[in-house]
Amino acid sequence: MHLPTLSILDQSTIASGRGAADAIRETMELARLADELGYARYWLAEHHGSESHAGSAPEILMAAIAATTRRIRVGSAGVMLPHYAALKVAEQFRVLEAIAPGRIDLGVGRAPGSDGRTAFALNPNAAQAAEQFPAQIRDLLGWLGEGLPEGHPFREVKASPPVATMPEMWVLGSSDYGAQVAAYFGLPYCFASFITDGRGAAEALALYRDGFRDVRLKAPHGAVAVYALAARTEAEAERLFRSRALWRLYRDRGIYPPLPSVEEAEAHPYTEAETLRIARMRQTAIIGTARQVRDRLVALAEELQVQEVAVLTPCHDAEARRRSYALLAEAWNLTAVPVAAVG
């Protein structure tokens, strides 16, 4: 069985009964465990104005994690580029390269990671900036080390600090747009399947492969980010999944609360429609024993023709989440060896 590269995506989920600071600390603890277990990458998400997720500044968390791990690659999944100036992002990631040379991933996305009002507060020109996403990627690559093109108005502006290495840049998305941008620039691409429940993944990744230009990588390099949870028994995985299922019901209504506990989920008065919705969720949810989850993830990677899988495991029980990743690492036969860059 060919196993794709296995990584972690963490949204720093806020659990009911615990606060945002707890979520940040749990993220840092899990990153250190992932480093010891042999995961390839640890990616941090960016969300604003959310009661569900504490990760509003992935570059800050990346610095803390990069300084307290020894081998795992640490990245953003991603920096929502329309909120920011490309020069500032480039300088942040140059600093990160100084902290952990050769271990930094810069994943960028175009979505706001927030509601419209919050996006406007972050950048009053956010709507127009989103239309400039490809130009921002060009500038970001230039300031990271490739140099800006002839005639660029800021060609003589230098990003600091000067460092010897360059982050590995990724494009992240949940639609065809990001796939086409990644293909044009010859960058690795990750499809956020956990957002769409898998819808559109095959189409976006096919567009990426078909349109890929080998201007940076020699060949397309695809990944998929999915929700998955492993436990010692299938019954235990089913029990832990209940809190995620209730949270998804809230999300369907545009509500983003802290992740409920299993007990809160079991006490919820479900309507018939909600029960049917959860049954549909369960049909596609990648949960079970470590071997069951591994086999599902491998089959998905083969189906989508991707080289990597990033696993997202929001779980109210922090110890159960750590155990899930440890069980999956064992099923994957991971070993803590240095992880090379894609290129």
- DSSP annotation of 179: H
Distance CA 159, CA 137 (A): 15
- Residue 273 resides in a domain: no
Q: Which pLDDT does position 343 carry in this prediction?
A: 45
19-28: long-range pairs with CB below 8 Å, 24+ = 20/54, 21/54, 23/53, 23/54, 23/55, 24/54, 24/55, 24/61, 26/318, 26/321, 27/54, 27/55, 27/61, 27/65, 28/61, 28/64, 28/65, 28/68
* pTM for the whole structure: 0.94
- Residue 280 resides in a domain: no
- Residue 88 resides in a domain: yes
Q: What is the mean pLDDT of residues 219-226?
A: 98
Q: How many domains does the chain have?
A: 1
pLDDT digits (tens, 9 = 90+) for 324-335: 999 999 999 998
The answer, yes or no, to whether residue 238 has pLDDT greater than 50, is yes
CATH number at residue 89: 3.20.20.30
- Residue 246 resides in a domain: no
pLDDT digits (tens, 9 = 90+) for 57-116: 999 999 999 999 999 999 999 899 988 999 999 999 999 999 999 999 999 999 765 677
The answer, yes or no, to whether residue 337 has pLDDT greater than 90, is no
pLDDT digits (tens, 9 = 90+) for 121-135: 877 887 787 789 999
- Residue 327 resides in a domain: yes
Q: What is the DSSP string of 210-262?
A: HH--TTSSSS--EEEEEEEEEESSHHHHHHHHHHHHHHHHHHHTT---PBPPH
- Residue 217 resides in a domain: yes
Range of the structural domain that residue 140 is part of: 5-232+288-331
- Residue 338 resides in a domain: no
- Residue 242 resides in a domain: no
Question: Residue 322 is inside which H or E element, if any?
Answer: helix 318-331
pLDDT digits (tens, 9 = 90+) for 140-160: 999 999 999 999 999 999 999
